[in-house]
Amino acid sequence: MSHKIAVIPGDGTGPEVVVESLKCLEAAAAKFGFTYETTQFDFGGERYKRTGETLPDGAVDELRQFKAIMLGAIGHPDVKPGILEKGILLRARFELDQYINLRPVKLYPNVDCPLKDKGPEDIDFVVVRENTEGLYAGAGGYLKQGTPDEIAVQESVNTRKGVERCLRYAFELTRKRDQEKTLTLCGKTNVLTYAFDLWERVFHEIGDAEYPDIKRDYAHVDATVMWMVKNPEWFDVIVTDNMFGDIITDLGAMVQGGMGVAAGGNINPEGVSMFEPIGGSAPKYTGQGVINPIASIAALQMMLETLGEDEAAAKVGEAIVEVVGTKLESMSAGRMGYSTSEVGDLVAEAIAS
């Protein structure tokens, strides 16, 4: 059966890196004998500037027909911040109910890590970020807008259902990873006493009832970022809400060697998932062939796992390790020792071998 994949190259360096993951997808399909079809969509800043549309009517329904979406990057220097992010990225996450944002934090061998005395054996954890609720839900509003007494309220929405499905996903993942089998809830129970009380209660409720084999740990978000720098080896799986997850995964990306390597999956386990390098559109590097495509190829690896192509996914992972470990001089844009497309070629060759 052929996998139907939607491709949204998007803005900035998005198209350049997506071409490289498609190259690797082709190599993986040839090697492991699966077939796929891709359909490209031009959603992004250029289309918005031309038509005033972010996602046109019917686009989300169209995307529902695919098994997975490969996204490059969204964000354009000429478009006011927020329009494309909300209109495309967040809308896709919400309307396709991609309730998990999965962000592995893994330091590959031979990659520079900003943490002193920490190596690949210390940095290998996954952040499970809730992806459809919290402060991102858009609840709130203004009172007396434009007056000196103006009030702006932005509320964090946490539903029992949303919290529970996110925690359950995280428990299952912790079991499947089979490492330290420790799931850390990252919250702020000392201040956000409604939202994280719910998270904490559900965490222990379903932990006791369904996951007695998984060790449960808790850390406030401020302590979490401290431990991520000081003792990253303590973490196996971290589960947290949308806003905290957004913040701690940028730190995670730095700890694993920068935006050139960090990938994320917006996952609806029962529906259509979307995979992206989390570095953004990097306008200053656009069109120069210097951006690192490894993050996008790591997103491909996650996509293949979701498609059930486990062997191919594992091979892509090995190919990344091989190329990063033995070929690239640096993970930073312009300093890899190779162009964007040469890096794609190297990984594709390693997949084929």
For residue 128, give the nearest of 241, 18, 48, 261 by alpha carbon: 241
Tokens describing residue 52 = 């005033």
For residue 39, give the nearest of 63, 79, 64, 7 by alpha carbon: 7
**Cβ contact 314:341 at 8 Å:** no
Scanning 85-93, 187-195, 325-333, 343-351 for contacts with ligand IPM by CB under 6 A, the matching segment is 85-93
Q: Which of residues 198-257 bind ligand IPM (CB under 6 A)?
A: 246
Task: Give the DSSP H/E element, type plus range, for residue 347.
Answer: helix 340-352
Scanning 83-91, 186-194, 308-316, 334-342 for contacts with ligand IPM by CB under 6 A, the matching segment is 83-91
Q: Which of residues 116-155 bind ligand IPM (CB under 6 A)?
A: none
Q: Least distance (Å) from Mn ion to the CB of residue 279?
A: 10
**Cβ contact 69:275 at 8 Å:** yes
**Residue 305, interface with ligand IPM (CB under 6 A)?**
no
Q: Least distance (Å) from Mn ion to the CB of residue 166?
A: 17
Gap between the Cα atoms of 92 and 77, Å rounded: 21
Residue 219 CB burial class (10 angstroms; 0-12, 13-18, ≥19):
buried
Q: How many other C-beta atoms can be found within 10 angstroms of the C-beta atom of residue 321?
A: 17
Residue nearest to ligand IPM (CB): 85
Scanning 50-58, 84-92, 221-229, 334-342 for contacts with ligand IPM by CB under 6 A, the matching segment is 84-92
Nearer to Mn ion, 130 or 246 (CB): 246
Place of tokens 């809308």: 91
Q: Least distance (Å) from Mn ion to the CB of residue 250?
A: 6
Cα-Cα-Cα-Cα dihedral sign, residues 164, 168, 169, 171: positive
Q: Least distance (Å) from Mn ion to the CB of residue 10?
A: 15
Nearer to ligand IPM, 23 or 106 (CB): 106
Binding ligand IPM by CB under 6 A: which of 85, 97, 233, 349?
85
* Separation in Å, CA 303 to CA 20, 85, 143, 163, 250: 14, 21, 44, 24, 21
One character per residue 251-290, x = contact with ligand IPM (rule: CB under 6 A): ---------------------------x------------
Nearer to ligand IPM, 278 or 347 (CB): 278
**Residue 246, interface with Mn ion (CB under 5 A)?**
yes
Nearer to Mn ion, 262 or 291 (CB): 262
Gap between the Cα atoms of 123 and 146, Å rounded: 47
**Residue 89, interface with ligand IPM (CB under 6 A)?**
yes
**Cβ contact 291:78 at 8 Å:** no
**Residue 276, interface with Mn ion (CB under 5 A)?**
no
**Residue 95, interface with ligand IPM (CB under 6 A)?**
no
* Residue 10 one-letter amino acid: G
Q: Which residues bind Mn ion (CB under 5 A)?
A: 246
Residues at the contact surface with ligand IPM, assessed by CB under 6 A:
85, 89-90, 246, 278
